[in-house]
Amino acid sequence: METSHLTALKARFGIIGNAPSLLHAISIAEQVAPTDMTVLITGESGSGKESFSKIIHTLSKRKHGQFIAVNCGAIPEGTIDSELFGHEKGSFTGAIEARKGYFEVTDGGTIFLDEIAEMPLGTQARLLRVLENGEFYRVGSSKVQRTNTRVVAATNLNLQDAIQKGKFREDLYYRLCTVPIYVPPLRERGQDIELLFRKFTTDFSELHRVKPISLTNEAKILLQKQHFPGNIRQLKNLAEQISVLELGDRIVDEEKLQEYLTFNEPKIKSNVIKSDFFQSSEGMNEREILYKILFDLKRDVTELKKILLKVIESGNSAGYDILHENPSLFADIKPQEDFNKGLTLPIQRINDPIETMTYAQDEPIDLNYEVISPSQDVTLSLEKQEKEIIIKALKKNKNKRKHAAKDLGISERTLYRKIKQYDLEDLA
């Protein structure tokens, strides 16, 4: 049975719930807090393990010392030793100055090592030495450092299984597990689920000045039957989602709640999605909406390719390389045989003669090609004119293909193909 003392303790640390397993965990944390014993907190992700580490630190004689929470799974393996134990200047690339680690900073305080099962084996060995005699080395140093830091660890994994798989040291496990605390998952806490839901929706309504959400009796029963693999985090997300989206009288019945639960935990349908689903997103679940987005995206890409192809075929020489070097991109909108015909470089027809033609941003080259006026009888094909331009560009650059391609504003690959097409290998 909960005492007034436990009630005050829960209020102090913002813990909501009356489940016997939860009260038992709080009681153990309170009893072990005044000691210097190492504590291992176990429980599923999102169940509130960090709150218990704060209880232990705040009720201990170290309460005026530093408290640091470290997520071992979020620190890269190559830097975790430096983060925990510090390093000397020049000990590795980027170590431009000496740095204290968390065990030095928390000397006289408490360090909370969350996701301890994710810690590398080498770091586990160094941590074991700290727990046994309070000694450690900075990275790049041979000088022994000492610390009087209390360690509280937590994990959402089964460390016994990790030991069997060779991923966790057995000696470290027994050193950490001096006092174990088990934080129950939300699904084992009964009516606490409703209490937490009410707390979250009330906080949200006060923050945004809206009417609070109310659940019918049937909705409350349905809520308590949920598995909640994400535990308190998942319940909080659900509460805030309902608070934002629910309109009208703000009373959520069993049917409405089921809609929100289904949306948050989408199930993969075994039946094939029919094409008429993509006419509208109404009534779709998340998977079906994703399919619709992908189909719409494919259609938009196809339209963009058609536009690009029209730009290329209208005479934009800058797009020739895209077409010829990436024919597969256009295979679904243009027959393959069209790519084998080859496209010719556009030749501008003007009335007044000109002596130079500029490609891209290079120096103009004197190609001296024949300008065809409208009054002339056009007998040369575009291929012939293109061939003559390539020949003159090669001669100007002393048959150096790289420079000729640059003057022509095309890639070397395209120039090589044109040389082969017009049988200019001997010239080049």
| Contact status, residue 155 vs residue 43, Cβ threshold 8 Å | no
Distance CA 294, CA 282 (A): 16
> % helix / strand / coil in the chain, to the nearest 5?
50, 10, 40
- Give pLDDT, residue 358: 39
Q: What are the residue ranges of helices labelled H in 246-370?
A: 254-264, 286-313, 320-325, 336-341
Residues 6+ apart with CB under 8 A from 322: 308, 312, 329
Residues 6+ apart with CB under 8 A from 197: 215, 223, 235, 238, 239
| Contact status, residue 242 vs residue 260, Cβ threshold 8 Å | yes
| Contact status, residue 107 vs residue 85, Cβ threshold 8 Å | no
| Contact status, residue 239 vs residue 269, Cβ threshold 8 Å | no
Q: What are the residue ranges of helices labelled H in 145-215?
A: 159-164, 170-176, 192-208
For domain 4-184, give its CATH number from 3.20.20.70, 3.40.50.150, 3.40.50.300, 1.10.3720.10: 3.40.50.300
In the CATH scheme, what is the code of domain 188-264?
Answer: 1.10.8.60
Q: Tokens 């960090």 — which residue?
A: 50
Pick out the chain residues at pLDDT < 70.
Answer: 1-2, 264-296, 298-300, 302-303, 310-382, 427-428
- Give pLDDT, residue 82: 93
Q: Which two tokens stand for residue 279?
A: 């006419």
Q: Which two tokens stand for residue 273?
A: 């999605």
| Contact status, residue 309 vs residue 330, Cβ threshold 8 Å | yes
Closest CA to 104 of 78, 124, 74, 130: 130
Distance CA 402, CA 334 (A): 31
Distance CA 150, CA 143 (A): 22
Length of the chain in residues, anyone?
428
Distance CA 254, CA 260 (A): 10
Judge residue 303's burial from the number of C-beta atoms within 10 Å of its C-beta, 0-12 exposed, 13-18 middle, 19 or more buried: exposed
- Give pLDDT, residue 95: 81
- Hey, where are the domains in the chain? 4-184, 188-264, 270-341, 344-421
- Give pLDDT, residue 290: 63
Q: Which two tokens stand for residue 119?
A: 């810690």
Q: Which two tokens stand for residue 123?
A: 């770091």
- Give pLDDT, residue 30: 95
Q: Tokens 């293109």 — which residue?
A: 386
Q: Tokens 């243009």 — which residue?
A: 334
